[in-house]
């Protein structure tokens, strides 16, 4: 391993979404965009799905970027949704592929319930409307509903749809039970990967609840936390730098890029991790597919 490939200064972008989940670009187009953004080590992390991994890996290598396999698993913890990113796993692992399929399983029924609930609020045809934006029939997400509601003129942008319709307590929100934290971490870890708490600054947890999340995550074998992400402010990055050091967690960096129209943080454009951190990629050097 060269010094740069384990360094905090490497331009690694280890969190983004393609048309295989709720992004608007195909894996190949994302790879080209990552390359244009200066990314040296890339991972595609579609929600609850790894069907894009082979395409992403080949596109990354063709662009001259190193590649880590990735996914972002939806988890229910303390009654809230938490996202766990997995990196560097064997994407043919049976337990992982079965677990992800099970996690995706409830999405279609949930989408129909969301549509019925939006209809009561006067918004009709949302299920069919959202489906027009779906690239993977097993992965209909709130983001696809949001795009339809903007198209139909109910809101002016995607964040407004989430604020008015798609978050807890709002008319189109349907509670859903996702994977257990223990299972998500185990699927990733037993497939040879590292589990990472995604965008910790985004959860509405109290300090006690966050402490419980981190300690249980570590207890189940989780080893990483996102410090620099498109979902964090500079203050969040400082705060989770301290958290990573305090809990001896590997630090990750990723834009969480979804779409040129909707995402504020482009692939490869984030500030680097602090030099005091141990980057997650330094623990995954054996798992990196080299260009
Ligand atoms: P789902 O997995 O179907 O519950 O959808 C979750 C996705 O919705 C996330 O991965 C984000 O892409 C998107 N999302 C969640 N909250 C917001 C928000 N407040 N504004 C915009 N997009 C959001
Ligand atoms: Mn998303
Ligand atoms: Mn997420
Ligand atoms: Mn994400």
Q: Please, which pLDDT band fits residue 172 given cuts at 50, 70 and 90?
A: very high
Ligand 1 centroid – CA 142 distance (Å): 6
Q: Please, which pLDDT band fits residue 3 given cuts at 50, 70 and 90?
A: low
Strand partners, 282: none
- Contact (Cβ atoms closer than 8 angstroms) between residue 246 and residue 216: no
* Ligand 1: lining residues by beta carbon, under 6 Å: 22, 47, 74, 141-143, 158-159, 162, 258
CATH homologous superfamily for 12-103+177-287? Metal-dependent hydrolases (3.20.20.140)
Which fold would CATH assign to domain 107-164?
A: DNA polymerase; domain 1 (1.10.150)
Cβ-Cβ contacts under 8 Å for 40 (sequence gap 6 or more): 10, 11, 12, 65, 66
- Total number of residues shown for the chain: 291
Q: Where are the alpha helices (DSSP H) in the chain?
A: 27-36, 53-63, 94-104, 107-120, 126-131, 142-151, 158-161, 181-190, 207-219, 234-247
Identify the residue whose C-alpha is closest to ligand 1 atom 14: 143
**pLDDT for 8:** 87
What is the per-residue pLDDT across 76-129, written as a single tens digit (0 to 9) for each?
A: 999 999 999 999 999 999 999 999 999 999 999 999 999 999 999 999 999 999
**pLDDT for 5:** 76
**pLDDT for 105:** 97
**pLDDT for 84:** 99
What is the per-residue pLDDT across 237-283, written as a single tens digit (0 to 9) for each?
A: 999 999 999 999 999 999 999 999 999 999 999 999 999 999 999 99
Which of 266, 256, 262, 253 has its CA nearest to residue 24? 262
What is the per-residue pLDDT across 212-232, written as a single tens digit (0 to 9) for each?
A: 999 999 999 999 999 999 999
Tell me the helix, strand and coil percentages in the chain, rounded to 5. 40, 15, 45
Instruction: Name the residue of 49, 107, 143 whose CB sits within 8 Å of the most ligand 1 atoms, as the mutation to test its pocket.
Output: 143
Percent of the chain with pLDDT over 90: 97
Q: Please, which pLDDT band fits residue 2 given cuts at 50, 70 and 90?
A: low
Ligand 3 centroid – CA 1 distance (Å): 30
What are the helix and strand counts (H, E) for the chain?
10, 9
Q: Please state the rounded mean pLDDT for residues 179-188.
A: 98
107 CA: nearest ligand 1 atom: 3
Residue ranges of domains in the chain = 12-103+177-287, 107-164
- Contact (Cβ atoms closer than 8 angstroms) between residue 42 and residue 29: no
Ligand 3 centroid – CA 198 distance (Å): 6
Instruction: Name the residue of 103, 142, 145, 168 whose CB sits within 8 Å of the most ligand 1 atoms, as the mutation to test its pocket.
Output: 142
Where on the phi/psi map is residue 64: left (φ > 0), alpha (ψ -120 to 50), or beta?
left
Q: Is the model's pLDDT at 210 over the cut of 50?
A: yes
CA–CA separation, 160 and 173 (whole Å)? 14
Identify the residue whose C-alpha is closest to ligand 1 atom 5: 142
- Contact (Cβ atoms closer than 8 angstroms) between residue 162 and residue 142: yes
């Amino acid at each position: 391993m060269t010094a740069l490939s384990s360094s905090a200064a490497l331009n690694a972008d280890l969190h983004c979404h393609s048309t295989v989940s709720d992004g608007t670009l195909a894996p190949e187009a994302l790879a080209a965009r990552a390359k244009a953004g200066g990314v040296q080590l890339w991972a595609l992390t579609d929600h609850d799905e790894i069907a894009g991994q082979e395409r992403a890996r080949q596109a990354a290598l063709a662009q001259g970027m190193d590649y880590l396999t990735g996914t972002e698993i939806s988890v229910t913890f303390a009654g809230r949704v938490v996202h766990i990113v997995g990196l560097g796993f064997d994407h043919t692992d049976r337990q992982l592929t079965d677990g992800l399929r099970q996690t995706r399983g409830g999405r279609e029924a949930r989408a129909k319930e969301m549509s019925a609930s939006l209809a009561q609020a006067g918004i009709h045809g949302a299920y069919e409307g959202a489906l027009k934006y779906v690239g993977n029939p097993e992965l209909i997400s709130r983001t696809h509903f949001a795009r339809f509601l903007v198209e139909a003129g109910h809101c002016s942008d995607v964040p407004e749809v989430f604020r008015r319709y798609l978050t807890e307590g709002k008319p189109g929100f349907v509670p859903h039970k996702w994977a257990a934290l223990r299972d998500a971490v185990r699927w990733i870890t037993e497939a040879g990967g590292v589990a990472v708490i995604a965008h910790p600054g985004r959860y509405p947890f109290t300090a006690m609840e966050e402490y419980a999340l981190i300690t249980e995550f570590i207890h189940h074998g989780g080893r990483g936390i996102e410090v620099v992400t498109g979902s964090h402010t500079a203050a969040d990055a400082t705060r989770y730098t301290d958290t990573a050091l305090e809990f001896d967690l590997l630090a990750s960096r990723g834009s969480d890029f979804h779409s040129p129209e909707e995402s504020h943080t482009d692939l490869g454009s984030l500030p680097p991790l602090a030099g005091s951190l141990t980057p997650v990629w330094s623990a995954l050097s054996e798992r990196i597919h080299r260009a």
